[in-house]
Structure 1
Amino acid sequence: MTRVAYILAPSHSGSTLLAMLLGAHPDACTVGELKITRLGNVEKYLCACGAPIRQCTFWQGIAKRMAERNVAFDVTHAQTALMAHGSAYTNRLLRPLHRNRLMEFARDAALSLSPTWHRQRRTFAERNVALMESVAAQSGAKVIVDSSKTAIRLKYLLRLEQLDIRVIRLIRDGRGGALALMEPAAFADATDPKLRGGGSGGNRDDERLTMAEAAEEWRRSNEEADEIVKTIDPSRVTTIHYEDVCQTPLGTLGNLFQFLGLDPTKGTVEFRNTPQHVIGNGMRLDSTSEIRLDERWREQLSDDDLSTFERVAGAANRRYGYR
């Protein structure tokens, strides 16, 4: 059975930083978001090790190990996302965020009517289990860190008996998360503009949201995370805050390693000193291990932005302890 640490959080909550800190432990490994959706320009896309993704020897090794499990694999077209093999009908049902038990029962009942769903679910299980086992074998790690974040993916991973999943519920002040959604290139990507977009550059203007949209996205993502946590054995879930990761990293990591069954004394904050092969957020391509609390929202958000956030998501933000 493969032990998996699943980071559950809204986008831009610090999951890549956390995953790389966890992955620096000698008995853990992360490759970022194992759902591996779009990589953009794959000819220019860089692995965190600095190699073009198709030339990375780690990922070439993963493909070989997957083939030994009779699963064809190409990291640029991984097909590990839940909706990768679905029909228009099943993917429409899977698109809404995770909700309460009654709504999820209704979703599952509707999905069960589709022959495509049964094949889709089997393929999802086969490819994800094979990938996690292959990463564990390639790295020698006891724990694989998946920073995919979404609750609907977690729901179906939890049903796989081959995986021993521990959930890390990561929370960040919603004003910081909203700013990153509004300006992803400047506040949620590599420091070097030439390395943004996975290594191909770009301004990511097509991803920008308004404050109202960003606050709604942040609030709804937290709501779905809270709903799925209610369905999980409390001993398999721990909650941490992004701000604690940045301000007290060693203590926070020590608690997480104990939760994951790893020796907390082997953790380190010098995560750039460990070879990593992460795909996803552009900060993986930065060069420094400096852990710096990002609260640029305090200077960057206007009074109108803050008023809009308060109207849409202020109550939720306060429930998580932010004022």
Structure 2
Amino acid sequence: MINVAYILAASHSGSTLLAMLLGSHPQACTVGELKLNGSAMGELARYRCSCGVPVLTCSFWQKVQAQMEARGHEFRLDDAGTDYRDVRSAYARRLLRPLCRGRALEAVRDLGLWLSPVWRRALPKIHRRNADLMESIMQITGSRVIIDSSKNGLRLKYLLRNPGLGVKVIHLVRDGRGVSLTYMDPAGYADAADAGLRSGGNGGDRAWERLPIAQAAREWRRNNEEAENVLKTLPSSQYVRLRYEDLCAEPLAICERLFRFLALPPSDAPRQFREFEHHVIGNGMRLDVGSTVALDERWRRRLSPAELDVFQDVAGPTARRYGYTT
């Protein structure tokens, strides 16, 4: 059984930071988002691994490719075949587009998907590719637990059904006002500090990703609603909920709590998490330097009173439920 720690979260909630902190444990590993969305990588020849070199020349990823080929898979980072939504059926892709919406609607989705021969053939193959990729990475790193920071609730639903995996879930929540500010300008608030390293080394201002405040607040609310819908299907022993703000306030104490949850021995490795070798795909902060964990509350200065009012109208009840009242 492959032991997986899945970080479930809205985008821009600190999942890459958490994955790197946990992945610094000597018995854990992470490469970030194992769904490996090739479209988010831009020009692959320029995309940098968190070790600093282009992913195409990174010796770690070359070893992963060799391991996958030995297991009978063709493997490319920009076409990894691990995303459950990436099936060659327009009908199935339409059914896989909505977020998870509770048991009854998920039963309808499952029935609709089962009517697709393409989906029935694809699902076991995607299960196997995910398990084989995880096992390959764990063998290369000598790890007992792999952290997947893909965040997506629908992906978690299918990982939980993957017979080769034992999955524990960390639901990471960040103040929706901070998340919304980041959605409004991803390059400015959620990417590498060095502008030349943004978009994985491709550069650019990511202007096409920017959302207005109402849509940003809606995304945060909907993604956390999806997370709760998936968690309702699990026993309480299989997941924990963590606030980004608490992680930043006490990173070592929070990591110790999470290590216990994952049945890992104590370790102070997160204290200097950037000094360890990481090969992470995802958020640009993976390319920054320094191991200081600092709370980012720039939303308090950057969001206008009018924008804060819009956020409260769209997502206020959800924010208050998570304790964000001031």
Verify the 8 A CA contact 1:26 1:266 in the aligned structure 2. no
The C-alpha deviation readout for 1:90-129, integer Å capped at 9, x for no partner, is: 0100000001100000000111111011122122112111
Residue 8 of structure 1 aligns with which residue?
8
SS of corresponding position for 1:265: coil
Residue 284 of structure 2 aligns with which residue?
282
Residue 31 of structure 1 aligns with which residue?
31
Distance in structure 1 (CA, Å) of the matches to 2:265 and 2:86? 36
Verify the 8 A CA contact 2:92 2:113 in the aligned structure 1. yes
Q: Which of 118, 121, 124 pairs up with 2:123? A: 121
**Equivalent AA in structure 2 for residue 92 of structure 1:** R
Verify the 8 A CA contact 1:269 1:289 in the aligned structure 2. yes
Distance in structure 1 (CA, Å) of the matches to 2:271 and 2:20? 9
Distance in structure 1 (CA, Å) of the matches to 2:53 and 2:265? 31
Residue 62 of structure 1 aligns with which residue?
64
TM-score normalized with structure 1 length: 0.99
**Equivalent AA in structure 1 for residue 6 of structure 2:** Y
TM-superposed deviation, 1:270: 1.0
The C-alpha deviation readout for 1:41-80, integer Å capped at 9, x for no partner, is: 1111000001101000000000111111111111132121
Residue 171 of structure 1 aligns with which residue?
173
Q: Which of 187, 190, 208 pairs up with 1:188? A: 190
The C-alpha deviation readout for 1:203-223, integer Å capped at 9, x for no partner, is: 000000000000000000000
Verify the 8 A CA contact 1:33 1:280 in the aligned structure 2. yes
Residue 300 of structure 2 aligns with which residue?
298
After TM superposition, list the pairs within 5 Å mapping 1:1-323 onto structure 2: 1-37=1-37, 38=39, 39-323=41-325
Distance in structure 1 (CA, Å) of the matches to 2:26 and 2:113? 41
Verify the 8 A CA contact 1:255 1:264 in the aligned structure 2. no
TM-score normalized with structure 2 length: 0.98
Verify the 8 A CA contact 1:254 1:267 in the aligned structure 2. no
**Equivalent AA in structure 1 for residue 205 of structure 2:** N
CA RMSD of aligned residues (A): 0.8
SS of corresponding position for 1:164: strand
Distance in structure 2 (CA, Å) of the matches to 1:322 and 1:130? 40
- Gaps of at least 5 residues in structure 1 are none
Distance in structure 1 (CA, Å) of the matches to 2:298 and 2:214? 18
- Gaps of at least 5 residues in structure 2 are none
**Equivalent AA in structure 2 for residue 296 of structure 1:** R
**Equivalent AA in structure 1 for residue 20 of structure 2:** M
Distance in structure 1 (CA, Å) of the matches to 2:155 and 2:61? 23
Verify the 8 A CA contact 2:4 2:168 in the aligned structure 1. yes
TM-superposed deviation, 1:264: 1.8
**Equivalent AA in structure 2 for residue 275 of structure 1:** E
**Equivalent AA in structure 2 for residue 255 of structure 1:** R
In the alignment of these two chains, the number of paired residues is 323
TM-superposed deviation, 1:267: 3.6
TM-superposed deviation, 1:266: 4.5
Distance in structure 2 (CA, Å) of the matches to 1:200 and 1:76? 15
**Equivalent AA in structure 2 for residue 34 of structure 1:** L
What fraction of aligned residue pairs are identical, expressed as a percent? 52
TM-superposed deviation, 1:269: 2.2
Distance in structure 2 (CA, Å) of the matches to 1:126 and 1:164? 14
The C-alpha deviation readout for 1:19-46, integer Å capped at 9, x for no partner, is: 0000000000000000001211111100
Runs of 4+ in 1 over 4 A off after TM superposition: none
